[in-house]
Structure 1
């Protein structure tokens, strides 16, 4: 699936991917191994960013950016801390029932920002731990301990408890004992959560929970074909960072004669079409400048560079074609979309860097920008922070496009395959190796 159009592509992508990985070297705590949510001063750790970081170390080793023993030690630091940190129902604990609070103090690991015990962010953390464990498979004692700790962390998560006597998983819980009212029902990044919750050999949820989750999916007809809708780009991308959905279908996708990979490719096309249409006449929008997802922005009524007043949404989940749109874009979209639409994303990346060069800081793209707002240059308003989730997603998706490394690693993890099968998925890399290779050889020859 890798397709470079020139040596310039190779050099550029390598430079951006390396800089994105270096975020995890620059913004992790040496004692706890926890990764900062953002590059902002005093930022707490995000357990989701920590999970992305754990998944990026195999990429860095294979690319020669860090020595394998050094990477293993960094992974082991984080897993030891997480395994030994206090699990309790009080407000200062690190986690409870095998789940972790969304934001933790970088140095102590205690809950911060009054955050919730997050089921989805714990899923992202555990996906990272399992990925690292599958990669560090050698006889070295540190690598053996990585595998042991990752298994312990995964099996400790009480997914059945997280149902809170309902038919779908609750989004979170707050101490001393109150579940959030919202549940993971309908298409979302929780696709990955349900795979892990179903794949647990210790405290899994029943397959019926996936049926309840997917029964609320919103299907649209786009150009005469079914499309599973989610406006925000990250929803489509997060599960793909770990799972190769080419040729894999659950019951809904099989009925639609599609798969989540093709659905995500279509979502990217819809985002580009919305930017080209530009119904709100925002500055810079075109087929090569797009990216509607969750990100920060200013909040309130502000004057745009063309004199109009526009309500800015602050932190919000922006989406297209049906979703919030206040002129704010995520610049990492072309990097994360490379496995699905490489030519389009390379064109978009070239356009972005040619017209908005000041976005790059230390080789990394910020969390968001709004070129319709007045600013020091064409970039307009630019988030002054680098976001850990964005950097991890960029590293993983670039690598899945370049080599398929992360997908090959997760294919070997029983929890992933077991969870997909219990959810009713068939095909793709769930097939025996020989049949799977023949399937994609045949597809590539068409």
Structure 2
């Protein structure tokens, strides 16, 4: 009898619940009781969330043999280009893993084990006068041509990797015996790059060398673009250094790198290659600065904090002004950089988005990796992605690579070089973690000083 009464009472409660038009529980008068509002993360919690999500690209979706970063990952076609390891993207991935260890996304021991595999792979992979190629086959370490003549050393991608290797060394150098061995391996790999070879005997650095085509690509590194770190690493090398003359003559173009243009009442400062009087894609203020700290960094040509911060502010103001009249651009939806794009026929392509090549495509990494420079403006984008668009714009490893409100288009894809700057740059904004690791390296300080740099932030 008691069981019957209990079931009858439970049924009455259930019917009462279902009878409410909005599904809320009601009191005895039939008035719906308030329900708990959805949990809204604080800014700090949200920063940790996007870092944890983007970390997954380099942990859960790494190339399985090398444990380095796959060039790309297509959610709907996970086997696409599954064996292609990207050198630059792997560099950003190593730095992302350091943040993961520091924040406890995985254990320090797990990161050491993962990096042992990765660095052993790099030790045995194809190298060309010490430089790694742009793409490596993750199953065997052989070069995969990035183009017909681009089947040898890629000095720029290698410089990104060396920036990461120094951070790895600095993080683990005073640790356990196993960690110290990892730090030593990272140091040996970085020391093995012959930067002098990539000058062709000139006062300049060149991007590519091929065992089949030699110097035919003939790409001299001249500023300003993403390659500042290449000259810094070449100057910092304890084994094959390249002197300051190359930096001043080639990179700084004997002073012609400077630009007096103004955009949105902000000095542009440098002449961005291919964009005279305007700014380039946002990755030019990310790739070199994952380790290189622009705060208080100066030389005879620029204040680098002003340079990078103005770049981000100009990009923000450009998107808000929206001269192309793209639907959806706003204070919470901005940021142009190289990424996947939507071709005119609706197919998937790739483009270097910037004010002079604006195709209506927003790339999340542009704003998210600019947190150090524009924290308020970048937080608006992060809120937009996670509070308003999470179901469509955020996937298995954080925000998808690119989207367009104008075309109602989102690509469910990831690129290592885009996903890879999010975690490090947000961490630099929050704690300066990677900036402090890189800038404390003695050869980095020596190299920077040899080029005429000073750092108020780091005391030299």
TM-score (ref. length: structure 1): 0.84
Q: For 1:299 and 1:108, locate their aligned partners in 2 and report how far apart those are by CA, in whole Å.
A: 34
Q: For 2:266 and 2:363, locate their aligned partners in 1 and report how far apart those are by CA, in whole Å.
A: 29
Q: CA deviation at 1:21?
A: 0.9
Distance change (3 Å), C-alpha of 1:247 and 1:17: same
Runs of 4+ with deviation above 6 angstroms: none
Instruction: Say if 1:57 and 1:132, in contact at 8 Å, map to a contact too.
Output: no
Match of 2:100 in 1: 60
164, 168, 182: which one aligns with 1:128: 164
After superposition, the CA RMSD in angstroms is 2.1
Match of 1:384 in 2: 412
Match of 1:91 in 2: none
Match of 2:252 in 1: 214
294, 319, 328: which one aligns with 2:361: 328
Match of 2:399 in 1: 365
Q: Which stretch of structure 1 is more off in the superposition, 209-218 or 151-160?
A: 209-218
Q: What does residue range 280-299 of structure 1 map to in structure 2 within 5 Å?
A: 280-299=324-343
Q: CA deviation at 1:354?
A: 4.4
Classify the secondary structure of the residue corresponding to 1:100: coil
Match of 1:95 in 2: 127
Structure 1: gaps (5+ residues) = 1-5, 86-93, 254-258, 303-311, 374-379, 433-446
Q: What does residue range 98-177 of structure 1 map to in structure 2 within 5 Å?
A: 98-115=130-147, 116=150, 117-177=153-213
Classify the secondary structure of the residue corresponding to 2:419: helix
Match of 1:405 in 2: 433
Instruction: Say if 1:331 and 1:365, in contact at 8 Å, map to a contact too.
Output: yes
Match of 1:195 in 2: 232
Classify the secondary structure of the residue corresponding to 2:446: helix
Q: Does residue 338 of the first structure (1) align with residue 382 of the second (2)?
A: no
Q: Does residue 274 of the first structure (1) align with residue 274 of the second (2)?
A: no
Q: For 2:87 and 2:423, locate their aligned partners in 1 and report how far apart those are by CA, in whole Å.
A: 17
Instruction: Say if 1:73 and 1:142, in contact at 8 Å, map to a contact too.
Output: no
46, 59, 71: which one aligns with 1:12: 46
Q: CA deviation at 1:196?
A: 0.4
300, 303, 324: which one aligns with 1:251: 300
Distance change (3 Å), C-alpha of 1:226 and 1:106: closer
Instruction: Say if 1:272 and 1:288, in contact at 8 Å, map to a contact too.
Output: no
CA distances 1:195-237 after superposition (whole Å, capped 9, x unpaired): 1010001111110111021124251332374622442100012
CA distances 1:149-195 after superposition (whole Å, capped 9, x unpaired): 22221111111111113322112123324222221101111111111
Q: For 2:165 and 2:96, locate their aligned partners in 1 and report how far apart those are by CA, in whole Å.
A: 11
Q: For 2:440 and 2:157, locate their aligned partners in 1 and report how far apart those are by CA, in whole Å.
A: 22
Classify the secondary structure of the residue corresponding to 2:286: helix
TM-score (ref. length: structure 2): 0.81
Match of 1:308 in 2: none
Q: CA deviation at 1:363?
A: 5.1
371, 380, 388: which one aligns with 1:347: 380
Distance change (3 Å), C-alpha of 1:282 and 1:218: farther
Classify the secondary structure of the residue corresponding to 2:204: coil
CA distances 1:76-95 after superposition (whole Å, capped 9, x unpaired): 1111121123xxxxxxxx22
Q: CA deviation at 1:288?
A: 2.5
Classify the secondary structure of the residue corresponding to 1:386: strand
Q: Does residue 82 of the first structure (1) align with residue 82 of the second (2)?
A: no
Q: For 1:351 and 1:32, locate their aligned partners in 2 and report how far apart those are by CA, in whole Å.
A: 35
